[in-house]
A and B are shown apart, each in its own frame.
Chain A
Amino acid sequence: MQVIKVEHLYKQYQLGQVSTGTISHDLNRWFHKIRGKEDPYEKITIDNAREEKGNSNYVWALKDVNFEVNQGEVLGIIGRNGAGKSTLLKILSKVTAPTKGNIKIRGRIASLLEVGTGFHPELTGRENIFLNGAILGMTKNEIKSKFDEIVAFSGVDKYIDTPVKRYSSGMYVRLAFAVAAHLEPEILIVDEVLAVGDAEFQKKCLGKMKDVSSQGRTVLFVSHNLVAVKSLCTSGILMERGSVSFSGTADETVERYMKANADQLKPKISYNTPLDAIGNEIIKIKHIEVVPSNPFITDEISINFSFWNFSEDQETNLAFDLIDLHEEVIFGTGFKFKKNGDNLSSASCRIPADLMNDGIYTINLYFNSAEMRPLYQLSNAVSFEVADKERNYAYFGKINGAVRPKLNWESE
């Protein structure tokens, strides 16, 4: 049985400063409307593509989204930032209305878009449970009957009559999630709540999500965390540029998403002759390749370099910085080369297995002479993603740290 049916859903947003020109646009829109014409600003609305700077002030955050969810399904919604996931959830939870199209729903929807909505710092934990519960759509009696359960679940029973402004952020989140977790809706929307709380609490949350789905209720789960999506969801949809680009099982969708991501990366550059190669009059790049091109954290990664060196010197320094998505340098490393007869030099650098954290990395290259005189630099020479492996413990969040070495632990 279908519980959600999304049909030709569109959502238009205005970019830039909202107030400038609003009156004239509103008047123009109204003038078109009374003459029975189409909205003049709909035609000039551009697709949701962040990379291309359009000349229109309006953008489709969602464009012709269609999908269905059956009862008891745990649907993972994945996609890059700005693909329209949050907009879709906002429309589903009735926070904002669609521009065109409709969504049909069977049953009560509760969303954990952000837990703790409406918590008032001056009120006690007890008062906030009631207030937050009511905001989420529970009646006083419903909350009363579940009160003890909520408090037990949150684990803050000692502080239940203390104003929540005195809570630690962990306690605050636990209490907030506890309220939301006891909503018992037919359809539950979960958005990235796994990012908060400690491992034990995450375990509780995931357990609650599994409970919900095992009782035949439906869960929509939005996350960047592919491992969590793979382990928790039964099916998935992939969103790209405001539309659903793929739907299938959770595994298929994650696979597809990773492939789409990998297509954006360039783990290999290669040129046949020095004439068409990038570089300058001294250094020309022949070949740089990351092997394997889509490594897991458990793989050894080798980066192979090969370049033409037209300098007089016999020795050249090659160094590179490995940079993550936050433009943070993870490490820098270098090597001294001897030139071959045909001006061509090759080398490869091996990054040991179980060292890198999962994430997307790029490489900045630096060529220097033996006296460290700069010869050539190349930013963002190649890029690749190190993927996480499925884990067999309860924590699915990103492991902290620039690197994630596998270290030796011994019990005493």
Chain B
Amino acid sequence: MENKNDIWTEIITPRRGWLDINLKEIWRYRDLILLFVRRDFVSVYKQTILGPLWLFIQPIFTTFIFYFVFNRIAKISTEGIDPILFYLSGITLWNYFSDCFLKTSNTFTSNASIFGKVYFPRLTTPISIVISNLIKFIIQLILFGCVVFYQVYFNDVKIQPNLYLLLLPYLVFLMAIMGLGMGILFSALTTKYRDLSFLLAFGIQLLMYATPIIYPLNFTQGKLHTILSYNPISPILENFRFSFFGSGNFDFSGLIYASIFSFLTLIIGIIFFNRVENKFMDTV
């Protein structure tokens, strides 16, 4: 009897398989994910006067700065789209991606004290971050909607929303899994080599300027244009703008490229995360 493995409910061994993620276990811990989301919200806005209003202030401020610097001073074209809406759409979408990326990239180091004491599926932490940022994104998207409404009715701005708007949830989903994948990949690598976290700050800034947030992709030409079109976030952003403002074309091949890139990133991220998950306590 006792030699049979099946009578044991669990066997703790040194190594696990490459893609051995226990989705069932994560599902069992779904309440924990939601409680983490709640904790993040409550703890961030407790003891602030303006509370969640900060969610509005940040994109509006950035939009105005971009408007004065890049539109008024640098005179970079926005392809006929109202500059306020152009910048705000870029910032809203970019913020979601960069928050998912940055805030999951220190999963291990910032949760070391909890991870060192109790076991629960570690992926619950980055997943909860992506979800709490999704809520933040939706609130900012509503702000974007309000600004669109204001510009159209009071400032007579012309926009052409179209059926591609239905793809919006998919675009957001791609952003989420790309940010998550990159974030957990970084979090796995930074447990051993902390140097990477310094690179990350530069990297994300560089990536932001390589993404058509303050300029349309068509503003660039030649080699630069080719390089920038390899940025997997570009087609997501461009297609998002197309579905709202209807300028340019819908970029199908770009969307497929971004999809493949996102899923691959997620899979690679999970593989690395998994490798580190049960050993990282020895290296932090």
Interface string of A98-128 (1 = CB under 8 A from B): 1111111111100101100110101100010
A164 to chain B, nearest CB (A): 12
> Using a Cβ cutoff of 8 Å, how many contacts connect chains A and B?
112
CB contacts (< 8 Å) of A104 on chain B: these are: 5, 8, 10-12
Q: Which residue of B lies closest to A113 (CB)?
A: B117
Complex alpha-carbon distance, A94 and B281, angstroms: 11
CB contacts (< 8 Å) of A131 on chain B: these are: 32, 35-36, 39
Q: Which residue of A lies closest to B2 (CB)?
A: A2
Complex alpha-carbon distance, A97 and B278, angstroms: 5
Cβ–Cβ contact B118 & A118, under 8 A? yes
Interface string of B102-133 (1 = CB under 8 A from A): 00000000000111111110000000000000
Cβ–Cβ contact B13 & A102, under 8 A? yes
Cross-chain contact of A97 among B14, B114, B192, B193 (Cβ < 8 A): B14
A67 to chain B, nearest CB (A): 14
- Interface segment among A133-141, A232-240, A351-359, A401-409: the answer is A133-141
| A83 at the binding interface (Cβ < 8 Å) | no
Cβ–Cβ contact A96 & B279, under 8 A? yes
Contact A123/B43 with A18-B283, A106-B7 known, Cβ cut-off 8 Å = yes
- Interface segment among A85-93, A270-278, A300-308, A327-335: the answer is A85-93
Complex alpha-carbon distance, A101 and B274, angstroms: 20
Cβ–Cβ contact A19 & B193, under 8 A? yes
Cβ–Cβ contact A95 & B281, under 8 A? yes
Interface string of B243-284 (1 = CB under 8 A from A): 000000000000000000000000000000000001101110
| A130 at the binding interface (Cβ < 8 Å) | yes
A127 to chain B, nearest CB (A): 7
Contact A134/B12 with A13-B282, A96-B278, A118-B114 known, Cβ cut-off 8 Å = no
Cβ–Cβ contact A14 & B282, under 8 A? yes
Cβ–Cβ contact B119 & A130, under 8 A? no
B150 to chain A, nearest CB (A): 35
Complex alpha-carbon distance, A92 and B278, angstroms: 12
Complex alpha-carbon distance, A287 and B113, angstroms: 52
CB contacts (< 8 Å) of B116 on chain A: these are: 90, 95
Cβ–Cβ contact A105 & B114, under 8 A? no
Which residues, 1 to 57 on B, are CB-close (under 8 Å) to A? 2, 5, 7-15, 28-29, 31-32, 35-36, 38-39, 42-43, 46-47
Complex alpha-carbon distance, A135 and B116, angstroms: 12
Cβ–Cβ contact A102 & B12, under 8 A? yes
Q: Identify which of B117, B192, B281 gathers the most chain A CB atoms within 10 Å of its CB.
A: B117
Cβ–Cβ contact A102 & B282, under 8 A? no
Cβ–Cβ contact B14 & A98, under 8 A? yes
CB contacts (< 8 Å) of B158 on chain A: these are: none
| B194 at the binding interface (Cβ < 8 Å) | yes
| A34 at the binding interface (Cβ < 8 Å) | no
Complex alpha-carbon distance, A218 and B10, angstroms: 16
Cross-chain contact of B193 among A14, A23, A108, A122 (Cβ < 8 A): A23
Cβ–Cβ contact A135 & B279, under 8 A? no
Complex alpha-carbon distance, A325 and B31, angstroms: 47
| A22 at the binding interface (Cβ < 8 Å) | yes
Cross-chain contact of A135 among B9, B120, B193 (Cβ < 8 A): B120
Which residues, 18 to 46 on A, are CB-close (under 8 Å) to B? 18-19, 22-23, 26
CB contacts (< 8 Å) of A13 on chain B: these are: 282
Which residues, 73 to 129 on B, are CB-close (under 8 Å) to A? 113-120
A345 to chain B, nearest CB (A): 57
CB contacts (< 8 Å) of B36 on chain A: these are: 131
Complex alpha-carbon distance, A2 and B193, angstroms: 42
CB contacts (< 8 Å) of B11 on chain A: these are: 102-105
Contact A100/B14 with A2-B2, A135-B118 known, Cβ cut-off 8 Å = yes
- 17 interchain pairs (CB within 8 A)? A19-B193, A26-B192, A90-B116, A92-B12, A93-B119, A97-B15, A98-B14, A101-B14, A102-B13, A104-B12, A105-B12, A106-B7, A106-B8, A120-B39, A127-B39, A131-B39, A140-B31
Binding site for B on A (CB under 8 A): 2, 5, 13-14, 18-19, 22-23, 26, 90-108, 111, 113-114, 117-118, 120, 122-123, 127, 130-131, 134-137, 139-140, 163
If A94-B12, A127-B38, A134-B31 are given as contacts, then 19 extra A-B residue pairs at C-beta distance below 8 Å, sorted by A number, are: A18-B283, A19-B192, A22-B193, A93-B117, A93-B119, A95-B119, A96-B281, A97-B12, A97-B13, A98-B12, A105-B8, A106-B7, A111-B118, A123-B42, A131-B35, A131-B36, A134-B32, A139-B31, A140-B35
